[in-house]
Amino acid sequence: MKILLVNDYGVPVGGAENIVLSLRDELRRRGHEARLFASTAAIAGLPNLADTTCHGTTGPLRTPLQSANPWAERALERILADFRPDVVHVNLYLTQLSPLILRALHGTPSVYYAQWYRAVCPLGTRRRPDGKSCEANVGAACLRSGCLSAQAWPFFMFQAHCDRAWGGVFHRVTAISQAVAESLDTYGAPHLHGATVVPPGTAVVEPRQDFAALPGIVAAGRLVPEKGFDVLLRAFRIVAARIPQARLEIVGDGPEAAPLGRLAATLGVADKVSFPGHLSHADTLIRMRGAWVTCVPSVWAEPFGMTAAEAQMQGVPVVASRTGGLGEIVRDGITGRVVEPGDIDGLAAALLGMLADRETVASMGRAAHADARERFDLPGFAARFEAIYREVAAK
């Protein structure tokens, strides 16, 4: 089959981007002609791995551009005419490509893969500035709550209007987790209801045979408030007081990098915590593979939690928040531990229980790998979408 994948970014900067890039490569390995269309928006100096691009930006003009990007629409029209795909698989498109691309898809079999809450929330988080979950529909509440400024609000409302008006172009809607599917049912336009859940996949590897001698925790992700790394640091202070040899590594970069470093110093654990900054996807997996446990302390409803699935595939147990898709990944007491988001004492207790017993870590790690191989393998992920592509293309 000829498959065109569409995504806002072509740089391997986050979970959604790594998912679409790995899917493209796996589809090619399985004999399909797969291409990726993305914007030229650059992040962190990383290479753009898309096959075809259109104008994009992360600068001041990003807000109007993501509401209406005529360059994306025209570029997609050219690709469809030249490549003539059997099916178009749309991932992220509301932060660069804009709903204008939907107009180009009329008459082309298309699938939408919702990987976060952007279709039902301008910020993509369903989280208000006060940290509480948002229970409102897109509209005036976005302005009243302070989620959007008065200057940005009209652009996002225009985007939401266009997306709702043209979103019916999709022949099938899929979601990365049950959490995202339920959010689409509750807050989304009618065409988003009843999404098919397709969990993403990661490359199948053999489980680790050993891990570091000293008890260590690795956490990875963008350093932003909703990831809960401040909660992890406060929990780690409790852990370090009980297990002085314990170490914590927080991989990633973002606006919270400096505040988190200061917090580690204030808590008296700076000598036990390292912040290596942004690492490549491969290097991040190497760090996780050597740790006793991977921690995902998110305080928002993670759409999925790719870090947790990848850690489990490596044979590493996971301690994660019981929120969003994370609760669908980690099997509490079997492949790791699940705690309430923001619960410092609960997180510390879960980590202490793991770091105090090397054999428990090894046993849970073996179970984690077996579970990930069954549910989150990359070939299985591609095969599930293959079936959807064939079904959609045949209509």
pLDDT digits (tens, 9 = 90+) for 354-372: 999 999 999 999 999 999 9
3-class DSSP state for residue 129? Answer: coil
Q: Give the model's pLDDT for residue 148.
A: 96
318 and 343 in a single domain? The answer is yes
Do both 271 and 332 map to the same domain? yes
Q: What is the pLDDT of residue 13?
A: 83
Domain span holding position 350: 216-375
Whether 211 is covered by a domain: the verdict is no
pLDDT tens, residue by residue, 216-242:
999 999 999 999 999 999 999 999 999
Quote the pLDDT of residue 182.
97
Q: Tell me, yes or no, whether 357 and 388 share the same domain.
A: no
**Are 248 and 318 within one domain?**
yes
298: in domain:
yes
Task: Give tens-digit pLDDT for 138-186.
Answer: 999 999 999 999 999 999 999 999 999 999 999 999 999 999 999 999 9
Q: With contact defined as beta carbons under 8 Å apart, do 114 and 198 qualify?
A: no
Rounded CA-CA distance 268/270 in Å is: 6
pLDDT digits (tens, 9 = 90+) for 161-174: 999 999 999 999 99
Q: Which two tokens stand for residue 268?
A: 């008296």
The answer to whether position 208 is within a domain reads no
Is 117 among the domain residues? yes
Mean pLDDT for all residues in the chain: 96
Both 361 and 389 in one domain: the answer is no
Q: Which amino acid is at 217?
A: I
Assess whether 260 and 142 both reside in one domain. Answer: no
Helices 229-242/257-266 angle, 10° precision: 30
Whether residue 387 sits in one domain with residue 338: no
What's the number of domains the chain is made of?
A: 2
Query: Are 227 and 343 members of one domain?
Result: yes
- Same domain? 87 vs 233: no
Query: pLDDT grade, residue 131 (50/70/90)?
Result: confident
Same domain? For 107 and 158 the reply is yes
From the CB of residue 21, how many other CB atoms can be counted at a distance below 10 Å?
21
* Phi/psi of residue 305, nearest 5 degrees: 115, 60
Q: How confident is the model at residue 377 (pLDDT cuts 50, 70, 90)?
A: very high
In this structure, what is the dihedral angle of CA atoms 129, 135, 137, 139, given to the nearest 10 degrees?
-30
Residues 46, 52, 58, 63, Cα dihedral to 10°? -160
Whether 177 and 322 share a structural domain? no
CATH number for 54: 3.40.50.2000
